[in-house]
Amino acid sequence: MRYNNIDAKILLPVLIVFLFYGERIAGQENLILNHSFEEKEDCPESIVYRYEFNRLVKHWSQPTFGSVLLFHSCGSSHLKVPQNMFGYQIPVSGKAYINQHIYSSYRNNNRAYFQCQLKRELQKDCIYYFEAKLSLEESSLHAVNNFGIALNKRKRFNLFTRLLKQKKGLNFQNSYDDGYFASFTEWMMVSGYYRAEGDEAYLIMGNFRDDEKTGVISVESPQQMINGRPLKEVSTYNAASYYIDNVYFFSADSVKKHIHQRMQDSAVNTNFYDRRTQVYEYRWDTVALKPVSKDTSAVLKMDSAHVLAPQVLKQIRNDSVDSVYVVNYYQSEESKFAQLQKSLQYARSIKRWIKLHRPNLYCESYGLAGNQQNNHPPEGKAICKTELLLKKRLGEKKRRDY
């Protein structure tokens, strides 16, 4: 049997290679196994057993006694998606996510953590990129301004420890809302770059700061309408708990491929999304080598940014624009790690500014090193460029059926 005059005996080995290495060929290799919590031993049925998560979710475990739960479309009514005992949220992808207890006002330093073994150990001085999505549960009466990851050489298991120490890792704050992760409806992205010390093999997610160093605000759960009916009443708690989904950890060299994949994923449903991505490029020319200001207005006054502001406003105020991806390029004489960190800070500043003018617009921000062109910045200066990738709706966005 022949396919386009190519012998099937030749095609078969090629197919096998693609199946084994397709993830690398198609894009970046995620070092997180079961990154969206789809792989399970069984459907979640009960919240009584503290360590049910360890049995149910493949490649993930709890290092402490804190409660982590799996929610899946096949689960019981309490542990189902998108609606469950803690609220309502559609998964970022697939049919599952987990929840995590970050803070409580009724018990000091009460935390929950979950961990996984990476596909392989990290290489010394190599730069890696981390990303995950969080959404505040409707049952929460508080929101916090800190979420983090810890990288370890060995698996942690501290049954009677409430608060784990973070020796190596990253800490995140929200790009807007004064740094607090306070959205019940939106998936909030946390991301950052990590330079490995070498031999790190396990990743833990959670809040590693004590109550004194964790910023907390009170929030009021909105009355959501689901298919024309009010959301089933959920019990509220003096705590901050979050849904978690889509965890990524891979080489910093693969971030650009990851952005392109995100753009494709957001337009999977061609009935409602324009698959053509509108790209707007803004050159900032040169900027001084100094710490990036947290003051959004200060960032946007720099160099050619006074031109950027009205043009961006015109685009994002278009009601058909459903989502914006901010991609910033930064090139300087600094180390690659420093360039990546500053680039991501600039991208977040623009994201904050966009959210100020259109709060309900979905926005993601990414920072890359280099400028795509063979230009070299003057001494003591950096070349900065921003791309805005806009996704537009063709019709009303419908909720996914489960």
Which pair of tokens denotes residue 188?
């909030």
Indicate the SS3 state at residue 285.
strand
Residues 244 and 275 in one domain: no
Count of the separate structural domains present in the chain:
2
Residues 72 and 185 in one domain: yes
Domain that holds residue 326: 266-392
- Domain membership flag for residue 74: yes
Distances (CA, A) of 126 to 24, 152, 368: 18, 16, 15
pLDDT computed for residue 114 by the predictor: 95
Report the DSSP pairing between strands 216-218 and 142-144. Answer: antiparallel
- Domain membership flag for residue 17: no
Residues 164 and 196 in one domain: yes
For residue 82, is the peptide bond before it cis, meaning its omega torsion is within 30 degrees of 0? yes
Residues 246 and 273 in one domain: no
CATH number at residue 282: 3.30.1330
Residues with Cβ within 8 Å of 309's Cβ and at least 6 positions away in sequence, in order, are 300, 353
Residues 80 and 224 in one domain: yes
Q: Which of 194, 224, 251 is the last residue before a domain boundary? A: 251
- Domain membership flag for residue 330: yes
Residues 208 and 335 in one domain: no
Q: Which of 204, 219, 251 is the last residue before a domain boundary? A: 251
> Are 254 and 28 in contact, with CB atoms under 8 Å apart?
yes
> In order along the chain (402 residues), what is the average pLDDT of each group of 10 residues?
40 36 54 97 82 90 90 93 91 94 90 96 97 94 96 89 93 88 94 96 96 94 58 76 97 92 58 50 56 49 50 75 86 91 89 85 90 66 81 54 44
Residues 164 and 301 in one domain: no
- Domain membership flag for residue 385: yes
Cβ-in-10-Å burial (0-12, 13-18, 19+) of 159 comes to exposed
pLDDT computed for residue 358 by the predictor: 87
Cα dihedral 361, 362, 365, 366 sign: negative
Residues 114 and 237 in one domain: yes
- Domain membership flag for residue 5: no
- Domain membership flag for residue 98: yes
Residues 339 and 247 in one domain: no
CB atoms within 10 A of CB 92: 17
Phi, psi (degrees; rounded to nearest 5) at 19:
-65, -35
- Domain membership flag for residue 33: no
Residues 359 and 293 in one domain: yes
> Are 300 and 353 in contact, with CB atoms under 8 Å apart?
yes
Residues with Cβ within 8 Å of 383's Cβ and at least 6 positions away in sequence, in order, are 284, 285, 286, 329, 330, 331, 332, 371, 375, 377
Q: Which of 226, 251, 276 is the last residue before a domain boundary? A: 251
Residues 303 and 211 in one domain: no
- Domain membership flag for residue 247: yes
Residues 176 and 287 in one domain: no
CATH number at residue 186: 2.60.120.260
Residue 385 Cα to chain centre, angstroms: 23
